[in-house]
Chain A
Amino acid sequence: MSEFLAMGGYAWYVWGSYGVTFLVLLLEVIFLMKRSRETKT
């Protein structure tokens, strides 16, 4: 498991890419759901 997380020494680059991508898409969905709720009422 720790070997997997280490990504052969490239952990920052690989998880930095995947982490930010996931975060950005998650934020888009959260803000969109918020906007959707606000406009429905």
Chain B
Amino acid sequence: MTAASTHWFWYASPQTFYPLAGSIARWCGIAAALLAAAGLWVGFFVAPTDAQQGEAYRIIFIHVPAAWMSMFIYLVMAFWAALGLAFNTRLSGMMATALAPTGALFTFIALWTGSLWGKPTWGTYWVWDARLTSELILLFLYLGFMALQAAIDDPRRADRAGAVLAIVGVVNIPIIYFSVQWWNTLHQGASVSLKSAPTMAASMFTGMILMAFAFWMYSVAVALVRVRCIIRERGA
């Protein structure tokens, strides 16, 4: 075994990961608060009023970052789940379990804020449209994952069963992401992509990115505090 891989597996043990997770969580929590303060300031006081939507568009600063996080956390959760299945490492399953509630919350936030944004812009709180429906399925996948794990007493078996569900559910992520291209939908296409410049004012984009990083740091902090709880609860 090479030195690099030994080092890597060193942190795969819950005991060695535990103190590291604590300090990362602390710093990420602080970063999340600072980034959120900056993002909200830019979002409410720097970004101009939208020409078409007036002030209603300001929902974007939480809606888009929350929607990104809802999908990203699922991918990370499925990654840990797959790692746990492949290498039978205890920490992997714990990480997947720790991420699920936060992912579910961001999915709920994306749906809730989207609904409140849809009413003034589309005239309805909800439509059974491809983007909205696939995001709702994501919420059910998170809830199903949590319910399945809660229903199995043995934590290692719960990890494996949850992992299978999480991996199968990954198919929904590209469906959500490409839904606005594949189907006719009320939901607008992506305003931000890796391939082209964002189609919005620079200050709007800045506010959105700051909030995205704030949610990101928040998720890392919360998931790591939760994984520490799980490590303690399982007596590892």
Residues of A within 8 A of B (CB): 4, 7-10, 12-14, 16-18, 20-21, 24-25, 28-29, 32, 35-36, 39-40
A4: B residues at CB distance < 8 A: 44
Q: Taking chain A's interface residues, is the majority helix, strand, or loop, or is none over half, making it mixed?
A: helix
Q: Taking chain B's interface residues, is the majority helix, strand, or loop, or is none over half, making it mixed?
A: helix
Q: Are B226 and A20 in contact (CB under 8 A)?
A: no
Residues of B within 8 A of A (CB): 44, 49, 54-56, 58-59, 62-63, 66, 101-102, 105, 108-109, 112-113, 116-117, 119-120, 218, 222, 225-226, 228-229, 232-233
Q: Are B55 and A14 in contact (CB under 8 A)?
A: yes
Q: Tally the A-B contacts, defined by beta carbons under 8 Å.
A: 67
Assuming the A-B contacts A17-B63, A32-B225, A32-B226, are A10 and B120 also in contact, with contact meaning beta carbons closer than 8 angstroms in the complex?
Answer: yes
Q: Are A36 and B228 in contact (CB under 8 A)?
A: yes
Nearest 3 pairs of A and B residues by beta carbon:
A8-B55, A17-B113, A10-B56
